[in-house]
Amino acid sequence: MHTTVALTGASGFIGGVIARHFSQAGWHVRGLVRSPRQAQELQDLGIETVQGNLESPASLLPLVRDCIGVIHCAAAIRGVSREDFHKTNVIGVSNIIKTCLAQSPPPRFVLLSSLAAREPSLSPYAWSKHEGESVLAREAGAIEWGIFRPPAVYGPKDRTLLPLFKLLRKGVGLQLGPSHAKFSLIHVDDLAQAVLLWLKNGGPPFHTFEIDDGFPGGYSWGDVFRLSNPHLHFCLRIPPVMLKILGKSNETFSRLFGYVPLFTGGKVAELLHPNWVCDNSHATQTLGWTPQISLKEGLRRLFTSDTLTPSQRN
């Protein structure tokens, strides 16, 4: 069986783990990269690379040629305005769909979206992920597609949640949202396995899956603190007004000093939203997928691997 899968965002946190899972399952993985440095890192892992970018449809042709599946992980996560996200998260989806439609037969298509897509009015990022999903549904034609909307994803090489978990390990809880808020989490390995199942088993097309680690009813900040470290020294809750000031200040500094910010007013609006809880029932019924890694186990793996040398990890 021909099992080549094309992957955008292969050099990123989530894309890299998906590449590893597919490779270990016997698939040939072909990843899109922008730079020779990224190409070398992936080639060292046995992944074929194609240099190109989502803004250049011609460079996507060698990526998707003869593939049975395309996994679109690449996304912009930094920015202030809709324009900052539109080129990658919306036009990029359209460009790779058009490239897939030029193949006969077209490959099956996985769009790695975000739970933020269900609240597009919250932030420019959330809007762009919702628009990317809409582009896929509108332009896919004969392509069979599946959309995965993960909540907050953690694991090795994660740069967003890892600093908070490291503080927790030291006995400090930093709360960045309201106490009544509930949210889901998922370990990156569980997410990768769900995507693998959809492609491997010919999962039902034209479905959107919201998946998490199965913690009932979602986590509160207190749940995360308790499960991560039952012996916290103290918890520091950042008031919403302070978060908003910090987000707007970072936007101002980014314009002054010429960088693209991650922590913005839009990101604060996402943090303050009270409900980011998933429901796995649809994925379990249609894919036969169930999460395997609880938060406690995920953190154990994270900090065990964090203390190992590269030779010990292998």
| The two three-digit tokens of residue 139, written as one number | 């332009």
Comparing CA positions, the residue from 92, 163, 159, 90 lying closest to residue 129 is 90
Domains of the chain: 4-151+186-212+277-292 (3.40.50.720)
- Provide, rounded to the nearest whole percent, the portion of the chain with pLDDT above 70: 96
What tens digit of pLDDT does each residue of 36-54 get? 888 888 888 889 999 999 9
Question: Tokens 């783990």 — which residue?
Answer: 17
Binned at pLDDT 50, 70 and 90, residue 314 comes out as: very low
Q: What is the CA radius of gyration of the chain?
A: 19
How far apart (Å, rounded) are the C-alpha atoms in residues 41 and 33?
10
- Distance between CA atoms of residues 117 and 127, nearest Å: 7
The pLDDT of residue 311 is: 37
First to last CA, the chain: 29
Query: What's the full length of the chain, in residues?
Result: 314
Q: How far apart are CA 311 and CA 51, in angstroms?
A: 29
Question: What is the model's pLDDT at position 30?
Answer: 97
Which runs of consecutive H residues, i.e. helices, occur in the chain? Answer: 13-24, 36-43, 57-64, 82-86, 92-101, 124-139, 162-169, 188-200, 221-228, 240-257, 265-272, 281-287, 295-306, 310-313
How far apart are the C-alpha atoms of 205 and 221, rounded to whole Å? 35
Query: pTM (2 decimals)?
Result: 0.94
Of 177 and 39, the structure prediction assigns the larger pLDDT to 177
Alpha carbon distance 110, 108 (integer Å): 7
For residues 99 and 140, what is the distance between their CA atoms, to the nearest angstrom?
11
Letter string b/e over residues 207-237, b meaning 16 or more CB atoms within 10 A of that residue's CB: bbbbbbbbbeebbbbebbbeebbeeeeeeee
Confidence of residue 305 (pLDDT cuts 50, 70, 90): low
Strand partners, 32: 50
- Give the pLDDT confidence of 205-251 residue by residue, as tens digits: 999 999 999 999 999 999 999 999 999 999 999 999 999 999 999 99
81 Cβ neighbours under 8 A, 6+ residues apart: 124
Question: pLDDT of 107-121, one tens digit each?
Answer: 999 999 999 999 999
